[in-house]
DNA sequence: AAGTGGTCTAGACCACTGA
DNA sequence: CAGTGGTCTAGACCACTTG
């Protein structure tokens, strides 16, 4: 190790290059410094970074601390790390966005609106082909089909068409779905071990247009979620959102 | 510490409760075990977990190892950790999905199709109000407006309408945009420090319908991305995808 | 003021994987 | 098979935040 960090404070070395960042020598400081080198193209895609041990010497810290910083950068997709291969700046950069999908009631309330919920129907039916495919099931067993409308200040917000496996979740048959949303009951009472999510756009069908009080063919944003516990299907839901619905995410 | 882990192997204690998981005593093993307790409702939302030190004793490992496991669960939104307050199972569970948005060329090629690109127009114009708002700018400066079509096997895949700040990125004026997509050049050459992402559905405008070779009013999925380096705007792009486009994500 | 999580260290050993 | 990242430890001290 060439440089000791004893007695060296952040301010001593902060020459103004970093405006936002934490103490140098902290794992966040190291992460930000490496990221800065990528941002200002001191390091370009494909470049090999020094070994953790060398970086530890450079920053005057333990290798563990460098590890912590580099793991974050790897999680973000900024660098690729391989044993023996070393650490390189990612050749194929991509944008990694993290989306939090809350319970609808909470989403509405956080927007400052009054949440409402109306059950449209709940009946046992054979799974349509599309949903069976979602679950990856070869057959088309009976499940509970629940249709319900979520409203914000009285206007339609999300219309959900849901299938719940009462083989996996028999308790669902005892839930008063006229009062409590299946969405909320399931999320609070039946955590999943796997979840597939798909988002896309559709033209409103006649039914959807009526439910959402809009015109047929209106473009609507759809969120599909299918969940399992282990190998067993729990639920698959197609949530049609109101016209103009946007899903947003901010990075950094 | 009551239990030592020396000489204790995973198999010794693996009673079959965990099918998928790594060695117990590893941070992943601890993470999975705690998650299992949440899944099978041994722990329910709001429950307080033992202190890290106690868990370390229970699992016969160092506190650091428990810390690593718990940090992951906190990142996933499964638990909430506060100093002095301890660790609790999250009261308001949400679904956290991670979306990777690759460079369009790579997305097309990975789908096994032939990628094509055609520049439609590139001209300096004053920013429309909508885009100025995206950037959070009070004024409406001139930027480079680039319109281009990405194709897969010759059919329209994504139509992008992009604004690039040539104040922040003067080099863009020298890029041969007829050959190289602004998308790809920017991602490879101008990393950003902040990125806002929005996804939503629109009815195709007349222009969009023509570009995408579909009918007006066809529902299309739109991805909007706006990026900055520090406080300076880089680019804002509205990418209209072909009919039927889906964005997907899998959790766990 | 005290309790709990967050960070850091120095060192050891392990597990990949590329030359 | 050797080089590099990944994990783990035991202990110390720090930084929040709540009772």
Kindly state whether B246 is in contact with chain A, defined as any CB-CB distance less than 8 angstroms.
yes
Strands A79-82 and A86-89: antiparallel
Tally of CA atoms within 13 A in the half-sphere of A144 that contains its CB: 20
Of A30-39, B15-24, B41-50, B198-207, which gets the smallest average pLDDT? B15-24
Q: What is the DSSP letter of A48?
A: B
pLDDT of amino acid A105 = 93
Closest nucleotide to B62 by C1' from CA? D9
Provide the CA A125 to C1' D9 distance, Å, integer. Answer: 57
Distance CA B205, CA A230 (A): 44
- pLDDT score of A226 more than 70: yes
Q: What would the pLDDT profile of B117-127 be if each residue is shown by its tens digit?
A: 999 999 999 99
Among B89, B74, B101, CA closest to B39: B89
Give the torsion sign (CA, B105, B106, B111, B113).
positive
Average pLDDT of the segment spanning A26-44: 93
At A166, list the tokens: 């009462």
Q: What would the pLDDT profile of B205-241 be if each residue is shown by its tens digit?
A: 999 999 999 999 999 999 999 999 989 999 999 999 9
Among A171, A178, A58, CA closest to A117: A178
Chain A residues close to B89, C-beta within 8 Å: none
Provide the CA B61 to C1' D18 distance, Å, integer. Answer: 28
Q: How confident is the model at residue B22 (pLDDT cuts 50, 70, 90)?
A: low
Q: How confident is the model at residue A251 (pLDDT cuts 50, 70, 90)?
A: confident
pLDDT of amino acid A8 = 31
> Do A101 and B97 lie within an 8 Å CB cutoff?
yes
Average pLDDT of the segment spanning A46-65: 97
Distance CA A242, CA A212 (A): 6
Chain A residues close to B197, C-beta within 8 Å: 95, 97, 248-251
Provide the CA A49 to C1' D13 distance, Å, integer. Answer: 31
CB contact residues (below 8 A), chain B span 156-215, against chain A: 187-189, 191, 193-203
Q: Strand D: which positions are within 7 A of a protein CB?
A: 2-12, 15-19
- pLDDT score of B246 more than 70: yes
Residue whose tokens read 């449209």: A120
> Do A93 and B187 lie within an 8 Å CB cutoff?
yes
> Do B101 and A103 lie within an 8 Å CB cutoff?
no
Q: Determine the residue of chain A that is closest to B100 in CA distance.
A: A96
> Do A202 and B201 lie within an 8 Å CB cutoff?
yes
Q: Strand C: which positions are within 7 A of a protein CB?
A: 2-12, 15-19
Q: What would the pLDDT profile of A130-175 be if each residue is shown by its tens digit?
A: 999 999 999 999 999 999 999 999 999 999 999 999 999 999 999 9
pLDDT of amino acid B125 = 97
> Do B217 and A217 lie within an 8 Å CB cutoff?
yes
pLDDT of amino acid A22 = 63
Kindly state whether A252 is in contact with chain B, defined as any CB-CB distance less than 8 angstroms.
yes
Q: What would the pLDDT profile of B44-87 be if each residue is shown by its tens digit?
A: 999 999 999 999 999 999 999 999 999 999 999 999 999 999 99
The packing angle between helices B52-59 and B27-39, to 10°, is 110
CA distance B141 to chain A (A): 24
- Cβ-Cβ contacts under 8 Å for B13 (sequence gap 6 or more): B24
- Cβ-Cβ contacts under 8 Å for A230 (sequence gap 6 or more): A193, B19
């Amino acid at each position: 190790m060439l440089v000791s960090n004893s007695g060296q404070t952040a301010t001593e070395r902060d020459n103004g290059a970093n405006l936002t960042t934490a103490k140098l020598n902290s794992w966040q400081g190291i992460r930000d410094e490496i990221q800065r080198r990528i941002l200002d193209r001191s390091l370009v895609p494909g470049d090999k970074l020094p070994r953790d041990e060398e970086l530890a010497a450079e920053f005057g810290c333990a290798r563990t601390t460098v590890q912590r910083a580099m793991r974050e950068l790897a999680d973000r997709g900024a660098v690729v790390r391989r044993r023996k291969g070393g650490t390189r700046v990612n050749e194929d950069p991509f944008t990694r966005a993290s989306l939090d999908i809350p319970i609808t009631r909470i989403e509405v309330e956080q927007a400052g609106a009054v949440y409402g919920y109306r059950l449209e129907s709940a009946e046992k039916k054979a799974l349509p082909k599309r949903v069976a495919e979602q679950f990856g099931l070869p057959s088309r067993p009976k499940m509970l089909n629940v249709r319900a409308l979520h409203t914000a200040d009285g206007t339609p917000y999300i219309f959900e068409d849901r299938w719940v496996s009462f083989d996996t979740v028999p308790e669902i048959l005892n839930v008063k779905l006229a009062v409590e949303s299946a969405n909320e009951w399931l999320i609070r009472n039946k955590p999943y071990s796997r979840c597939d999510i798909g988002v896309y756009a559709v033209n409103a069908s006649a039914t959807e247009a009526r439910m959402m009080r809009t015109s047929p063919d209106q473009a609507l944003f759809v969120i599909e979620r299918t969940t399992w516990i282990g190998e067993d299907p729990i639920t698959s839901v197609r949530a049609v959102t109101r016209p103009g619905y946007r899903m947003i995410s901010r990075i950094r």
